[in-house]
Amino acid sequence: MKIYLVGGAVRDRLLGLPVKDRDWVVVGSTPAVMKAQKFRPVGKDFPVFIHPDTGEEYALARTERKSGHGYAGFTFHTSPDVTLEEDLLRRDLTINAMAETDNGELIDPYHGHSDLQNRILRHVSLAFREDPLRILRTARFAARYAQFGFQIADETMTLMKTMVSSGEANYLVAERVWQETVRALAEPSSVIFFDVLNNCGALATLMPLLLQGFKNKLATPRTALARAVERQADTVTRFVCAALPWTETLPAADAVDQIKTFCTDLKIPTHYRDMAILVSKHLSSWLTMEHADPETLLSLLEKTDPFRRKERFRQFVCICDLLAQTVHANHQQTYWVETAAQACQTINIQALIQQGYQGESLAAAIHHQRLLAITAALKL
């Protein structure tokens, strides 16, 4: 039995990056032997085991054969006679198909180190075309390593286009598309992820809502996402920037319906969907909020609720500010809205209750006091 460090740990060490997770391949062993050595089996598709002390994953060397459509359409074969080279051959990119022995010797049968040095993302073999998930993974790696000058090899991009045109990408399930997308949104150059998908045709197939927003480098969603990345914004903010449907300078009139459909189709988590809907409903008002009258300002605040949902409102303001900067060189909406919100927080509701206000009269009194506070704070 021989054990090798494989994949991302080898790749990132050679790039001089921190190694976060380590994966291992075991050659010349069987499930029975692994269990006898106290490794804990996990997974049903192929034999993967958890080390009893480190908790790291150890997979038996395996080969695979296409047996159906999509990323799950494979039959795996493991046995003690499967070689390391055969196991590495099934991997997606050459930079992920390297291994190390326990003494640090590099095993690189598919020239991944050379591609690493030349900053190239290249498929290992034509088996790449059998798994459409690799389109998304390649786009995500492009987003991760664009900062180091990595480019997708021409022949790999051609292969990805062929996979899309053949319909293979249509078999990706929504959960896996979103899983790769949200991981890509966290990458240092997440715009590149969508550019790659657009260039190979997968964006139109998998996320048609985003197609208009990434048609060129000047499209508003693409520019907004780039700004969000520069600000190191969280993935919810990045998602809203990328997914919000736009006309030339304003969100599309049917943006809310488009977002609801998109999020349902991809089974996107509720907090991503709800923030996208909140922004799409109120961004047009936000863009005209500078020098607004107190009633208009308060109306926006009542609809976005900084009084009970402060963290959600903070994120809403952050996203709207970012989007406003994308379409207007100079703007003061954030100052006006935040100042109005802070002024409203000074209202003593308990004092109004003690004065006898209740029910509708209390709501009216709170509304009136907030208007007065906004007027005073902004000198309107």
> Is it the case that residue 78 has pLDDT exceeding 90?
no
Closest CA to 126 of 167, 84, 75, 90: 90
Query: How large is the average pLDDT for residues 163-172?
Result: 94
Task: Report d(CA 130, CA 317) in Å as an integer.
Answer: 44
The pLDDT, as a whole number, for residue 347 is 93
The residue assigned the tokens 């896996």 is 176
Q: Is the pLDDT of residue 216 over 90?
A: no
Q: What is the pLDDT of residues 18-52, one digit of tens each?
A: 998 899 999 999 988 989 999 999 866 668 999 99
The token pair at 61 is 């060397």
Distance of CA 159 to the CA centre of its chain: 24
DSSP string, 8-73: HHHHHHHHT------EEEEES--HHHHHHTTPEEE-SSS-EEE-TTT--EEEE-EEEEE-SSSTT-
What pLDDT is stored for residue 27 in this prediction?
Answer: 95
What's the token pair of residue 335? Answer: 């100052």
Residue 74 pLDDT exceeds 60: no
**Encoded amino acid at 118, one letter:** N
Cα–Cα distances in Å, from 232 out to 17, 187, 289, 318, 322? 19, 10, 26, 12, 12
As a whole number of angstroms, the distance between CA 17 and CA 19 comes to 6
Over range 182-202, report the average pLDDT: 97
Q: Are 104 and 24 in contact (CB under 8 A)?
A: no
Cα distance between residue 235 and residue 140, in whole Å:
14
CA distance 319 to 235: 11
Q: Average the pLDDT over 63-68 and give the result.
A: 65
pLDDT digits (tens, 9 = 90+) for 98-156: 999 999 999 999 999 999 999 999 999 999 999 999 999 999 999 999 999 999 999 99
Rounded-to-integer distance, Cα 63 and Cα 125, Å = 13
Place of tokens 């379409």: 327
Set out the domains of the chain in order of their start, with CATH numbers.
1-118 (3.30.460.10), 122-206 (1.10.110.30), 233-380 (no CATH)
pLDDT at 59: 92
CA distance linking residue 150 with residue 135, whole number of Å: 16
Measured distance CA(124)–CA(95) in Å, rounded: 9
The pTM score is 0.90
Whether 65 shows a pLDDT value over 90: the answer reads: no
Residue 334 has pLDDT above 60, yes or no: yes
Q: Is the pLDDT of residue 75 over 80?
A: no
**Separation between Cα atoms, residue 262 and residue 20, nearest integer Å:** 33
pLDDT classification of 193: cutoffs 50, 70, 90: very high
d(CA 277, CA 240): 9
Q: How many other C-beta atoms can be found within 10 angstroms of the C-beta atom of residue 197?
A: 30
Distance CA 251, CA 344 (A): 28
- The owner of tokens 């990434």 is 214
> In whole angstroms, what is the distance from residue 260 CA to residue 200 CA?
26
What is the secondary structure of 273-311 as a DSSP string? HHHHHHHHHHHHHHTT-TT--HHHHHHHHHHH-TTT-HH
On average, the pLDDT of the chain sits at: 92
The residue-averaged pLDDT of 320-345 equals: 88
Q: What are phi and psi for residue 27, nearest 5 degrees?
A: -110, 135
The full length of the chain comes to 380
What confidence tier does 331 reach under pLDDT thresholds 50, 70, 90?
Answer: confident
The pair phi, psi for residue 280, each rounded to 5°, is: -65, -30
